[in-house]
């Protein structure tokens, strides 16, 4: 037996580079009392080379039935979080095929060193899926690599007194017996780690502004706090749309869980925050801005390899500083100089453009990433800098990118050689001075 693939060295044992998904349809039934999930996943796919084997990622749940193009494969085996299908005959490179997997069980987070746990997680009275970076296999069979983006249809049936939020637009709600089925369509391509389901006793509230619908999934008694911390999301979205280009999805939802959560997290078209983010202080508001900015940087424009995580976190962190200035808090430059001084006192063992899996979510990736953008902005001027950001999003919306892509676009838009700046900030160890 040949060994199983790893698509990205930062996520060992995840992803199969020999094929790509072109659509996921997930039909899920979830019992909150017993934490039992029953699902059918239909994955439309295309072979990227001649293949006789298809490997999917699926953790903890039991596979009941598998078909490929409507028929049983030659054989299938499910162990150690991998579902391995041996095909009856070769699928040639470029050919389409469809895999259907019926499965059930008690979902729980996936544990992967050095990242810890991620994925389907029970709350006191509900569920979140915090998929980044390796949690998607906790709830559906997938090709778990960030460069394989596809549209999704997600249908979830749960008890009637709960609200279900998933990615994309809510296209249907059907009541049947004691359950209610919520159907969502995520038309824009999405990486597997950004797929999510959120279930809780939420009231769905929509702001009355024009343009992109902004929703809150808010638990009992949290409306005043929601207004305190999230009340300026319309202004934020308008400001970011000016700075980065149009908001990339059809709606945006902030889910506020009744439980406290250690950190907020972005998913495609929505973000999740704990109830401990409702006092309206800058430390919370900055994360409201941060998660919203990920809709452009991370979700619409997604890294091809996890080593380029600064393309998500550095940009989202810089968006915090931008909103600080636009929203009447401290200036962007004040944040930059303060964090530069802080970073100058910290250890210098991190390479921004390849920090290693253990440090990919280190705070220095966020702050040095943001400082790289600030240094670039101070070098090329505001007009060119924001034109570069808007061109970056417009050109790569729905796709995947590398650090080299950003450097090449910067050279193209700016028209001068920036390799010295990028080498020092992205690949050097010492902290360069700000211009
Ligand atoms: Zn982030």
CA of 264 from ligand 1 middle (Å) equals 8
Distance 317 CA to ligand 1 centre (A): 7
Asked if the structure places residue 389 within a domain, the reply is yes
91 Cα to the center of ligand 1, angstroms: 38
59: nearest Cα among 132, 123, 130, 144: 144
Give the CATH number of the domain where residue 245 resides.
Answer: 1.10.390.10
In this structure, are 110 and 255 located in the same domain? no
Cα 66 to ligand 1 centre (Å): 36
Look up residue 369 and give its two tokens. 């990433």
Query: How far is the centre of ligand 1, averaged over its atoms, from the C-alpha of 115 (Å)?
Result: 15
CA–centroid distance, 200 to ligand 1, in Å, is 23
46 CA distance to ligand 1 middle (Å): 31
How far away, in angstroms, is 265 Cα from ligand 1 center? 7
pLDDT at residue number 347: 81
CA of 315 to the centre of ligand 1 (A): 9
Q: How far is the CA of 74 from the centre of ligand 1 (A)?
A: 42
User: From the CA of 401, how far away is ligand 1's center (Å)?
Assistant: 17
Shared domain check, 358 and 222? no
The residue from 166, 183, 198 where one domain ends is 198
End residue of a domain, out of 155, 178, 198: 198
Residue 324 belongs to some domain of the structure:
yes
Number of domains in the chain: 3
Question: Which contiguous run of DSSP H or E holds residue 256?
Answer: strand 252-256
327 and 265 in a single domain? The answer is no
CA 180 to centroid of ligand 1, rounded, Å: 32
CB-based contacts of 111, cutoff 8 Å, min separation 6: 117
The H or E element that residue 382 is part of is helix 382-396
Could you tell me which residues are beta bridge partners of residue 169? 185
Please tell me the distance between residue 254's alpha carbon and the centre of ligand 1 in angstroms. Answer: 15
Q: What is the DSSP string of 184-237?
A: EEEEEEE-GGG--EEEESEEEEE---SSS-EEEEEETT-HHHHHHHHTTHHHHH
Residues 289 and 315 occupy one common structural domain: no
- Ligand 1 center to residue 96 CA distance, Å? 34
Domain assignment present for residue 435? The answer is no
Check whether residue 170 and residue 234 sit in a common domain. no
Å from CA of 31 to ligand 1 middle: 31
Spatial distance between the Cα atoms of 158 and 38, rounded to a whole number of angstroms: 11
Nearest to 195 by CA among 102, 112, 131: 131
CB atoms within 10 A of CB 26: 22
Q: Is 171 among the domain residues?
A: yes
Span from the CA of 9 to the centroid of ligand 1 (angstroms): 21
Instruction: Indicate if 234 and 309 belong to the same structural domain.
Output: no
Which pLDDT score, from 0 to 100, does residue 2 have?
65
Boundary of a domain, candidates 198, 226, 241: 198
Asked if residue 41 and residue 30 are part of one domain, the reply reads yes
Per-residue pLDDT tens listing for the chain (435 residues)? 469 999 999 999 999 999 999 999 999 999 999 999 999 999 999 999 999 999 999 999 999 999 999 999 999 999 999 999 999 999 999 999 999 999 999 999 999 999 999 999 999 999 999 999 999 999 999 999 999 999 999 999 999 999 999 999 999 999 999 999 999 999 999 999 999 999 999 999 999 889 999 999 999 999 999 999 999 999 999 999 999 999 999 999 999 999 999 999 999 999 999 999 999 999 999 999 999 999 999 999 999 999 999 999 999 999 999 999 999 999 999 999 999 999 999 988 999 999 999 999 999 999 999 999 999 999 999 999 999 999 999 999 999 999 999 999 999 999 999 999 999 999 999 999 999
**Statement to judge: residues 378 and 250 lie in one domain:** no
The token pair at 91 is 């699928």
Look-up of token digits 């279900």: 164
Extended strands (E) in 74-196 = 75-79, 82-91, 96-105, 110-112, 116-123, 126-130, 150-159, 163-166, 169-176, 179-190
pLDDT at 117: 95
pTM of the model: 0.97
Residues 181 and 218 in one domain: no
Tokens linked to 52: 């006789």
Gap from CA of 263 to ligand 1 centroid (Å): 10
Phi-psi group of 398: left, alpha or beta (phi > 0 → left; psi -120 to 50 → alpha; rest → beta): left
Whether 21 is in a domain gets the answer yes
Cα separation of 295 and 245, whole Å?
11
In 23-159, alpha helices (H): none
Distance 79 CA to ligand 1 centre (A): 32
Which CATH number fits the domain that encloses residue 64?
2.60.40.1730
For residue 271, the CA-to-ligand 1 centroid distance in Å is 10
Is 432 a member of any domain? no
Cα(177) to centroid(ligand 1), Å: 40
Q: Quote the ligand 1 centre to 130 CA distance (angstroms).
A: 12
User: What separation in Å is there between the alpha carbon of 312 and the centre of ligand 1?
Assistant: 7
Q: Can you tell me the distance from the alpha carbon of 3 to that of 1, in angstroms, rounded to the nearest whole number?
A: 6
Contacts of 177 (CB under 8 A, 6+ apart): none
Q: Is residue 433 in some structural domain?
A: no
Instruction: Determine the structural domain holding residue 218 and report its residue range.
Output: 201-295
- β pairing state of 19-31 and 150-159: parallel
Q: Which chain residues have CB less than 5 Å from ligand 1, an ion?
A: 313, 316
118 CA → ligand 1 middle, Å: 15
Question: Contacts for 378-381 with beta carbons within 8 Å, 24 or more apart?
Answer: 378/434, 378/435, 379/418, 379/421, 379/435, 380/414, 380/418
- Do residues 121 and 152 both lie within one domain? yes
Same domain, 189 and 235: no
- Residue 310 CA to ligand 1 centre (angstroms): 9
Ligand 1 center–CA 30 separation, angstroms: 29
Domain assignment of residue 434, yes or no:
no
Is the same domain home to 101 and 247? no
Whether 157 and 181 have beta carbons less than 8 Å apart is answered as: yes
Distance 294 CA to ligand 1 centre (A): 7
């Amino acid at each position: 037996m040949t060994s199983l693939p790893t698509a990205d060295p930062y996520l060992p044992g995840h992803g199969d580079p020999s094929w790509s998904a072109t659509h996921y349809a997930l039909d899920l039934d979830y019992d909150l009392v017993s934490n039992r999930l029953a699902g059918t996943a239909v994955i439309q796919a295309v072979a990227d080379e001649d293949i006789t084997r298809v490997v999917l990622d699926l953790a903890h749940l039991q596979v009941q039935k598998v078909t490929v193009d409507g028929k049983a494969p030659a054989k299938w085996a499910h162990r150690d979080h991998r579902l391995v299908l041996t095909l009856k005959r070769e699928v040639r490179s470029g050919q389409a095929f469809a895999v259907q997997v019926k499965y059930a069980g008690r979902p729980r987070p996936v544990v992967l060193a050095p990242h810890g746990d991620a994925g389907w997680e029970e709350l006191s009275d509900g569920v979140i899926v915090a998929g980044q970076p390796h949690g998607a296999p906790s709830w559906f069979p997938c090709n778990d690599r960030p460069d394989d983006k596809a549209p999704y249809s997600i249908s979830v049936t749960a008890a009637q007194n709960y609200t279900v939020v998933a990615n994309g637009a809510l296209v249907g709600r059907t009541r049947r017996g004691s359950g209610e089925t919520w159907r969502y369509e995520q038309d824009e391509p999405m990486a597997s780690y950004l797929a999510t389901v959120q279930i809780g006793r939420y009231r769905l509230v929509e702001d009355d502004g024009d343009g992109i619908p902004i929703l809150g999934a808010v638990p009992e008694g949290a409306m005043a706090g929601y207004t305190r911390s999230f009340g300026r999301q319309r202004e934020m979205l308008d400001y970011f749309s000016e700075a980065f280009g149009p908001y990339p999805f059809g709606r945006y939802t902030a889910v506020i869980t009744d439980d406290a959560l250690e950190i907020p997290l972005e998913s495609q078209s929505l973000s999740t925050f704990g109830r401990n983010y409702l006092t309206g202080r800058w430390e919370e508001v900055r994360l409201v801005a941060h998660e919203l900015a990920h809709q452009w940087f991370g979700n619409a424009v997604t890294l091809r390899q996890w080593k380029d995580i600064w393309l998500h976190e550095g940009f989202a962190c810089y968006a915090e500083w931008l909103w600080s200035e636009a929203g009447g808090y401290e200036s962007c430059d004040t944040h930059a100089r303060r964090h530069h001084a802080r970073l100058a006192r910290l250890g210098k063992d991190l390479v921004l453009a390849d920090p290693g899996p253990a440090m990919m979510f280190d705070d220095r990736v966020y702050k040095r990433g943001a400082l790289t953008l600030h240094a670039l902005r101070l070098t090329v001027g505001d007009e060119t800098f924001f034109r570069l950001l808007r061109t970056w999003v417009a050109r790569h919306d729905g796709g995947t990118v590398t650090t080299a892509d950003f450097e090449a676009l910067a050279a193209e838009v700016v028209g001068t050689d920036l390799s010295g700046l990028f080498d020092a900030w992205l690949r050097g160890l010492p902290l360069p001075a700000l211009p």
